[in-house]
Structure 1
């Protein structure tokens, strides 16, 4: 079994992080079949990387703008049995590829994803609830601690059989993360693949592990709330594509079980130890949930109204 690794990137400022990502791939106990860097909307950067990284395949994004299009472009030139994706600001554990290939020996597996641990570049804010790790592009509290079949995995740490990735069409062209859009393109991909091959599974395995750099700016309250708002909007957009049932199954369980436990833990820390940050984490959970809801509802309603009006557009009255 061979694994091609695709890294999407877009800006010269991220080159130091990108080089650290590539270096982590060079140190794998099971080497990558090839490393492909897909550059989104920056021909000068692509040219520079092609010149400076002779052992890496560099391609420009020839698909839709954004990380999803770049990943599709990288996957289109891959030749490994598996295509794996890692972010350009993440570092792979030394056995990352080995654990991916081990998980994919299960013939039922469409693909695999794993643990994304935060690597804070400053001290992690004590008010930040670990239940909201997804805000900073990382895994959140409440995920399985052992290998488990799941609805979806996350594009910052995932792999898929290359032939199935191509068969399902890769990441959706009109959907994804760009500017102020935070549409969960990997969830959409996983749901589409799950529908196409209903007897197969997506696997979450925490032993498939990467570290994701988290800059200081992502530890601010404003960033936290903004990302929650965008997440709500993105989930509404996903529901419009795949239906609310598939789009929100995991999220409903998260809101019903994971978040209440976090709130209780925060309150307990305040009462038993006088930890005011426990109260702040509880408040952050409530605020984040409400903000995501505020993002979801108007976007969902607007989309439903637009779909209902679509048959009447262009018709003459009278």
Structure 2
């Protein structure tokens, strides 16, 4: 397997509501300490947005998602269209810091590395850091959370808004699985987790590593700092985990989650209890998140079992 060659950036977009931060992210790509060899923007079934991008950024390569609506289909369309050896994936609401691509690319100098996960720091609304989202729950808003390694080491999976893959590894694995992950504002996820596990299952000798010095600032919209979003996102995460477990097996699909639930979350609850009124709200949020995610997982697992019984009966 080759070491690092060319390195491009892929951004998937779907709504003009994120135009301001999307533009900031694209501008930041022109100021990287390592210039991307190519930048491709995939528009997810939104002709008006594609036309605006082509009009206002004529030098940018803009393509349409030729697959199913959603993030997985958009990522697959972009991967197929690009030629870079390594593809760095950037969310449309995440702004990379100047050395983001350089730091994300460095581990690929080792031939065995097939994927690298960066770090995402929340950019909070003007209301400030919400008690309902303590550090243990920052995955709710797509950011790096307490419990992830802060040094370079091997990990099970990368985080979606700041990650890179060898293009050939993605193609060989069949790409991102449709039916997993976000479609519009539906807060499902785990498509990059499932892909990482599948790649490792096919090639156990390859490595997936963290690069916490490859940082993006991930915008958190005001609607995502509420109890309602916490519960909705937790439920969707449980459903997503059930689907991942069905596709790749519960042993691999839930390995990191078991450690997180047994060690990280209890410590977060205790930390909150000792932190006064605000800390108590954070502790309550952790408990509510765990209960709701578990309920979503059980519901998703039961639905899968029901479909299997129906198929056998048929």
Give the TM-score taking structure 2 as reference length: 0.95
- Is 1:105 matched up with 2:109? yes
- Out of 34, 55, 70, the residue aligned to residue 74 of structure 2 is 70
Among candidates 161, 166, 171, match of residue 156 of structure 1: 161
For 1:268 and 1:48, the matched residues in 2 are separated by: 51
Residue matched to 2:253:
247
- Structure 1 residue matching 2:192: 3-state secondary structure: helix
The aligned residue for residue 176 of structure 1 is 181
Separation in structure 2 between the aligned mates of residue 53 and residue 166 of structure 1, nearest angstrom = 29
Equivalence map 1:212-291=2 (5 Å): 212-269=218-275, 275-291=276-292
Q: Which of 95, 110, 114 is the equivalent residue of 2:99? A: 95
What SS is found at the alignment partner of 2:154? strand
* Greater Rg by CA: 1
Q: Which residue of 1 aligns with 2:306?
A: 305
212-221 or 171-180, larger mean C-alpha shift: 171-180
- Structure 1-normalised TM-score? 0.94
Distance 2:218 2:6 in 1: 24
Structure 1: gaps of 5 or more residues: 270-274, 314-318
Task: Provide, for residues 204-233 of structure 1, a one-character-per-residue CA deviation record: whole Å limited to 9, x for no partner.
Answer: 110111110001111111111111111111
**CA drift at 1:25:** 0.6
Match of 1:200 among 161, 182, 206: 206
Match of 1:42 in 2: 46
User: SS of the counterpart of 1:182?
Assistant: coil
Match of 1:272 in 2: none
In structure 2, the partner of 1:21 is 25
Cα-to-partner distance string for 1:248-291 (whole Å, 9 max, x where unaligned): 1100000001001111111222xxxxx21111111111111001
> What do residues 5-45 of structure 1 show as CA deviations (whole Å, max 9, x unaligned)?
01000112222121111011111011011111100011222
Structure 1 range deviating more: 298-307 or 60-69? 298-307
Distance in 2, Cα, partners of 1:4 & 1:197 = 24
Equivalent residue of 1:209, what SS? strand
Give how far 1:73 is off.
1.1
SS of structure 2 residue aligned to 1:224: helix
CA contact 2:132–2:226 (8 Å) conserved in 1: no
Whole-Å separation in 2 of the counterparts to 1:294 and 1:126: 23
CA contact 1:183–1:233 (8 Å) conserved in 2: no
Partner Cα separation in structure 1 for residue 209 and residue 235 of structure 2: 28
Mapped to 2, the partners of 1:158 and 1:225 lie a distance apart of 26
Q: What is the Cα deviation at residue 88 of structure 1?
A: 0.3
Alignment CA distance shift 1:181-1:124 (3 Å): closer
Cα distance in 2 between the residues matched to 1:225 and 1:146: 31
Structure 2 segments unaligned to the other structure (5+ residues): none
Q: Secondary structure at the match of 1:150?
A: coil
Is residue 85 of structure 1 aligned with residue 89 of structure 2?
Answer: yes
The answer on 1:30 being equivalent to 2:39 is no
Residues 306 and 181 of structure 1: CA distance in aligned 2, closer, same or farther (over 3 Å): farther
- Which runs of structure 1 show a deviation greater than 3 angstroms over 4 or more consecutive aligned residues? none
- 1:59 matched to 2:63: yes
Distance 2:281 2:86 in 1: 43
What is the CA RMSD across the aligned residues, in angstroms? 1.2
Deviation at 1:181, TM superposition (A): 5.5
